[in-house]
Structure 1
Amino acid sequence: MAAVSLSDRFAADAGLLPHMADLANDRMLVAQLGEGDYRSASFLDQRLLTDRIGREWVPWTALPDLGATAPHPHFIFHIGHVGSTLVSRLIAELADVLPLREPMLLRSLAQVAERIGRPESLWSPTLYRERLRQVCGWLGRGFRPGQQAIVKASSVITAIADDLTAGGGRALFLHVPLPRYLETILAGEASTAETLAQAPARMARLAGQLPDFPFALWQLAPVTRIAMSWLCEMASAQRTLPPADPRHQWMDFEAFLSDPAAALAVQAAHFGLSVDSGRIDTALAGPIMRQYSKAPEHGYSPDLRRQLQAEAAARHARAIGEAIAWVEATTARYNTLAELPIHGR
């Protein structure tokens, strides 16, 4: 995979995935995937790199800039653990869609964005804008003319959603009311541990959005830290994906589960996909709705989800109540947060 031949092939070959950036050395790990790899992968992160996946480090500058005419991907953003992988899998069954789930390269862009304008930034603001446009062009490629790339980002990427969508494309933002979010996270040890591990970074991001923020993470009980995570991601989305913009569709995942056929039709139309009701019914009747989307070898269903939520609600009732009260008090302090749907709409 020599750099010259890579550059020549890159624009036309969606199988060449810019997988991971080495920011310190300004280089990119390019992986060779088949279309089936994209469709099956729950995460385009380090778990993708099995022995059968060819890859090679190349200088960032060896990859071409596809220009302003490059197809732009659509995006699915979310607050975490709200069915984004499920929705991505279902949409990929509806039309000629290339799903890209949580590409690692977007995390590198988010890391750069956090430091833009600061002395330690590796990139200038101009270089950040140029490379962000370049990356969107790369992620927008398909295996065939007319194939639509739809990127399901990781939850922390919502912080730069406005940058990613500025050049074109539409966005779906998935969320749930705060009580359901708390119950969902607390229903699993892994989701609880993951959310608590991300709490320091989210606390810093939330404090950066709110003037005179009076709290420190050490003051918050564990369940309240999870509630703070919900508040951080919802506040980020309000800033980067304002719901009044017709390019941004906000959808409550609980509402999606109550009528998935109608919700999928709305989502497909938002992304400009031509889909008939029979295709939607077939996707919903298939195995996807009965699998754990991040690990399809395990069974899962909306009924099991509701059962686990109810058990978590009973087990953590007092801590959940205190966490919700903290969010209500915090949103009351800031006019910019007044419209967040804490209890749904």
Structure 2
Amino acid sequence: MADDPFQSRFAADASLLPHMADLANDRVLVALLAEADYRAASFLDQRLLTDRVGREWMAWDALPDLGAAAAGPHFIFHIGHVGSTLVSRLLAEVGDVLPLREPMLLRTLAQVAERIERPESVWSPELYRTRLAQTLGWLGRGFAPGQRAMVKASSVITAVADDLTGSDGRALFLHVPLPRYLETILAGEASMAETLAQAPARMARLAALLPDFPHALWQLPPVTRVAMSWLCEMATAQRRLPPDDPRRLWVDFEAMLADPAAALMAQATHFGLPIDPARIEAALAGPIMRQYSKAPEHGYTPDLRRELQAQAAADHAPAIAEAIAWVEALAARYTNLADLPILGDQSVIQEVRCSS
């Protein structure tokens, strides 16, 4: 690597982002980003590739392996639509953190992992492990000494969360109680469409987690499919990010909204970030809490979120009740699901709602 100027630069320069992979041709698209681009981007996916972003396809093996000494990134995992982008933006403000929100390369790794033991797998298990470690080294680079990269993964990436975090990585897992999740998804046409589109893959994953699974997707009405999606991601996290592991911090986003300063301080402590109450206060008082985090040009506040949830709860009450009963029946059937926070801490939820 020392004899190759590009490899030496790539090893130390976070501006060279391995953006996406082409498995058929065994190559990686490298994009050139400034630190401000990382901080602004809600998604490091195909929307990133505007005309002003330089990029070039390179053979995978032309990119260096940074070795076992490379620090991997911290991770934010979540069940989807539970404030993960907001938390990523806040932590980037309160600590020396480089945010990477939903890098596409991790989706490729998750797709490979899903098939790794099957005949159609394009990689061997050994190559998967090698390239997983290589990717984590790439995503762990910062722009300055001491800066720690923090990946906000896509919700489906939780299926390989234990592979990504390794033996010493720290992770945050964001969730909400089932009723709030249903209300949040039902309050947005786009979020409902997205969740229903992902339902077949999540149904398959849930059935793989639960032996003798008694349901088929076609049997479930739309709102119950949303509840199934919640259950899939929560059961996946229970297995991949056990809540009793001190390296994994489970955070109820509804409870976080009741006391965001305390929650941010706890999250910063968990990740080993410097604690500065003044920076936390400034971040919470700034524009982040008044914007829609995935599209900051649009206004969005916790109060508006609660109003939309309440309207969805009123509009869809019978279907929501049916969906919750479906999940509760499965929790009664499978003992490993009994500890999932299906209804959450209702005293906290009531406090959040009354504060609006």
* Shorter-chain TM-score range: over 0.9
Q: 2:126 maps to what in 1? A: 126
Which residue identity is paired with 1:283?
A
Q: 1:266 maps to what in 2? A: 266
For 1:237-252, list aligned pairs within 5 A: 237-252=237-252
Query: What CA distance in whole angstroms lies between the structure 2 residues aligned with 1:169 and 1:143?
Result: 20
Give the aligned CA root-mean-square deviation in angstroms.
1.0
Which residue identity is paired with 1:113?
A
> Identity percentage over the alignment?
79
For 1:285-324, list aligned pairs within 5 A: 285-324=285-324
For 1:127-276, list aligned pairs within 5 A: 127-276=127-276
Q: 1:333 maps to what in 2? A: 333
Size of the aligned set, in residue pairs, is: 343
Query: What CA distance in whole angstroms lies between the structure 1 residues aligned with 2:71 and 2:162?
Result: 18
Query: What CA distance in whole angstroms lies between the structure 2 residues aligned with 1:150 and 1:95?
Result: 11
Query: What CA distance in whole angstroms lies between the structure 2 residues aligned with 1:197 and 1:5?
Result: 44
Query: What CA distance in whole angstroms lies between the structure 2 residues aligned with 1:95 and 1:340?
Result: 31
- Structure 2 residues without counterparts, runs of 5 or longer: 346-356
Query: What CA distance in whole angstroms lies between the structure 2 residues aligned with 1:238 and 1:310?
Result: 28
Q: 1:63 maps to what in 2? A: 63
Q: 2:18 maps to what in 1? A: 18
Which residue identity is paired with 2:79?
I
Q: 2:116 maps to what in 1? A: 116
Indicate if the aligned counterparts of 1:102 and 1:152 stay in contact, CA closer than 8 A: yes
Which residue identity is paired with 1:170?
R
Q: Deviations over 1:209-234 (max 9, x none)?
A: 11111110000000000000000000
Tell me by how many angstroms 1:167 deviates: 4.8
Q: Deviations over 1:180-212 (max 9, x none)?
A: 000000000000000000000000110111111
Tell me by how many angstroms 1:5 deviates: 3.9
Query: What CA distance in whole angstroms lies between the structure 1 residues aligned with 2:127 and 2:338?
Result: 36
Q: 1:48 maps to what in 2? A: 48
- Secondary structure in structure 1 of the residue aligned to 2:12: coil
Q: 2:348 maps to what in 1? A: none
Q: 1:91 maps to what in 2? A: 91
Q: Which moved more, 1:334-343 or 1:74-83?
A: 334-343
Which residue identity is paired with 1:333?
R
Q: 2:349 maps to what in 1? A: none
Query: What CA distance in whole angstroms lies between the structure 2 residues aligned with 1:334 and 1:105?
Result: 34
Indicate if the aligned counterparts of 1:72 and 1:168 stay in contact, CA closer than 8 A: no
Q: Which moved more, 1:330-339 or 1:110-119?
A: 330-339
- Structure 1 residues without counterparts, runs of 5 or longer: none
Indicate if the aligned counterparts of 1:76 and 1:151 stay in contact, CA closer than 8 A: yes
> TM-score scaled to structure 1, two decimals?
0.98
Which residue identity is paired with 2:254?
E
Query: What CA distance in whole angstroms lies between the structure 1 residues aligned with 2:167 and 2:59?
Result: 25
